[in-house]
Amino acid sequence: MTHRIVLPRIMEIGAGAIQKMPDILGVLSCQRPLLITDPMMVQLGHAGRLTDILETAGLSCAVFADTMAEPTEDSLQPALEQLKSGDFDALIALGGGSAIDTAKALALLEARGGCMADYKVPRIVDEPGLPVIAIPTTAGTGSEATRVTIITDASTDEKMLCMGLGFMPMAAIIDFELTLTVPARVTADTGIDALTHGIEAYVSRKASLFSDEQALAAIRLLAPNLRKAYHNPNDRAAREAMMLGSTLAGIAFSNASVALVHGMSRPIGAHFHVPHGLSNAMLLPAITEYSLSAATARYATCARAMGLARETDSDDVANTRLLAELRALNAELKVPTLAGFGVKESEFMALLPVMAEQALASGSPGNNPRVPVQEDIIDLYKTVWHQE
């Protein structure tokens, strides 16, 4: 049995890595990039700084700055028109997962045509698109190092999972200084997303020795630093650890897949517009409790990597602490309940069969250590609804 590992060709990692953008374009033989970003990146000055760096190096860079959170097929169209109207040879994505996922989708649509529904799983998209250079500004979705993009089909409220080599960025610039301005809420949500990637990759049925090592390294970086980054946004050491942890967790899950938390999270995001990391956080304790019995030793190893138990503690002790920590983390990071977020109970309950079906169709629940059927997923959604 072998495992095919796929990574970006270049990862430029560290404080000030964004300065290397012109050099990276040169190495990739690209001269005419289109920057895909969002209004917040313009407001914070990150987009202007990047275009200044390129201009100083003698490169011009057109900008599309209207990407949406949780991108839809429709939201891609204005950017696609701009992309088609010019002679661009690369896309630079600057922002959180939404900007990076948008650029990955555009890269395929421009090069291969069609619509995103043509590219969703079970199809595996190994054809190359335009080169994408991803610059994450959150820690994070890990999208800079994954062969995955998520685009919502607004007509069905389905978050379409699109996978394959074609969605792997050619290069990633992993510069934690870009995360120093991230607000506490986003730090919490994206940080729990990254931690979830590490845990789900480690317990996934598709895990390998390679993904295990990336996942555990990610968990060791993320778990002790998430609270620090949340409470002290200028803690550079915590921000650096979170950023690298997020990328490593991305590498882990891109090569091992995510599992039931993500499978159930996407429909909540699509139907109720709960930010991705937040819906993961709402689900993580209950889904972990449901799944524990099928991978006791693996979850206990996660607990130890999080610093919750010693090698000499039993797996049961480690896992009891893991569940307690996941709940305590949500409380400290002020993760609301679904009702607290504003989801209406009647709408949530009415959509349960559809959400469970969409969760199963994504394939992610099949990677979970304990594989649920549709009724199990409905029961789990109800459990999550009723949790404090």
The smaller minimum CB distance to Fe ion, of residues 198 and 369, is found at 198
Minimum distance from CB of 256 to Fe ion (Å)?
Answer: 13
| Nearest CB to Fe ion, comparing residues 88 and 167 | 167
Nearer to Fe ion, 61 or 207 (CB): 207
* Residues of span 352-381 touching Fe ion by CB under 5 A: none
Give the integer Cα–Cα distance in Å for 379 and 93: 39
CA 304 to chain centre: 23
Does position 189 bind Fe ion by CB under 5 A?
no
Shortest CB 268 distance to Fe ion, Å: 12
| Chain residue whose CB lies nearest Fe ion | 193
Min dist CB 47 to Fe ion, Å, is: 24
Record the tokens describing residue 33, joined without a space. 């990039």
278 φ/ψ angles, rounded to the nearest 5 degrees = -70, -40
Q: What share of the chain is helix, strand, coil (3-state, %, to 5)?
A: 60, 10, 30
Q: Under rule CB under 5 A, how many of the chain's residues touch Fe ion? A: 1
Tell me if 158 contacts Fe ion by CB under 5 A.
Answer: no
Contacts of 84 (CB under 8 A, 6+ apart): 110
Strand runs (DSSP E) across 169-254, as ranges?
A: 171-174
Question: Which range binds Fe ion by CB under 5 A, 149-157, 189-197, 340-348, 358-366?
Answer: 189-197
Q: State the Cα–Cα distance between residues 334 and 332, nearest whole angstrom.
A: 5
Please answer whether residues 141 and 186 qualify as being in contact, where contact means their C-beta atoms are separated by less than 8 angstroms.
Answer: no
Restricting to residues 190-209, which ones interact with Fe ion according to CB under 5 A? 193
- Report strand pairing: 158-163 vs 148-153: antiparallel
Least distance to Fe ion, CB of residue 266, Å = 9
Nearest residue (CB) to Fe ion, 261 versus 343: 261
Residue whose CB is less far from Fe ion, 51 or 288: 288
Interaction site with Fe ion (CB under 5 A) = 193
